[in-house]
A and B are shown apart, each in its own frame.
Chain A
């Protein structure tokens, strides 16, 4: 079974500062990895995903994440925070089957609420 741990339930940064949200996973086989964002009173929106290939993945709104197999990590970063980045962020994993497609079921981390100060 897989699991996801997000370090820090709340992260606070100043506008223009670096954003770093940490995610570590546990999986018996290399998983697919995702970051989703949830704005208030909205559903989850995909920020970025890692499936195969390049381990540095770029997503929407200037976010990126790097898959580090040796560290079982998939941390999310953004060089310069904007007020509009304030939201809750979820890291998630799903297993891949022998054919390379996804099992579909997502296992989520606990979520990290990002606050951006002026």
Chain B
């Protein structure tokens, strides 16, 4: 089983719908992140959380919200999806002692 699991892997939704992307990890890390990948733009940070009671906005948080339900779970919500939120979304984890991040397999979201 993957250390960082994202569900769903693929999703097509309609404009205006609310959608939640989920991430769970078994690495025991305290820090979790949501990134968005667009062609030619690399990955950009949406939100991050350093522990259960800590939520921080990243570079591109508008139109998104997150919830850290437990140390191992971090979900990303699009309250009212719009077409320019079509992208590949990655969840990642890290530990304050480690420098590297570990990524999930990604969720490909299409908003039509």
Using a CB–CB cutoff of 8 Å, the interface residues on chain A facing chain B are 4, 6, 9, 32, 34, 36, 42-46, 49, 51, 90, 92, 94, 101-102, 104-111
Contacts and interface: CB of A to CB of B under 8 A. Distances in A.
Nearest to B31: A104
Interface of B: 4, 31, 33, 35, 40-45, 48, 50, 58, 90, 92, 94, 96-101, 103-106
Contacts, number: 63
B101 to A, nearest CB: 6
19 contacts: A34-B100, A36-B103, A42-B105, A44-B43, A46-B100, A49-B99, A51-B99, A101-B99, A102-B99, A104-B33, A104-B94, A104-B101, A105-B58, A106-B43, A106-B45, A108-B35, A109-B42, A110-B40, A111-B42
Given A49-B100, A51-B99, A107-B45, 15 more contacts: A4-B42, A9-B40, A32-B99, A43-B90, A43-B104, A43-B106, A45-B103, A90-B43, A92-B43, A102-B96, A102-B99, A104-B94, A106-B43, A109-B42, A110-B42
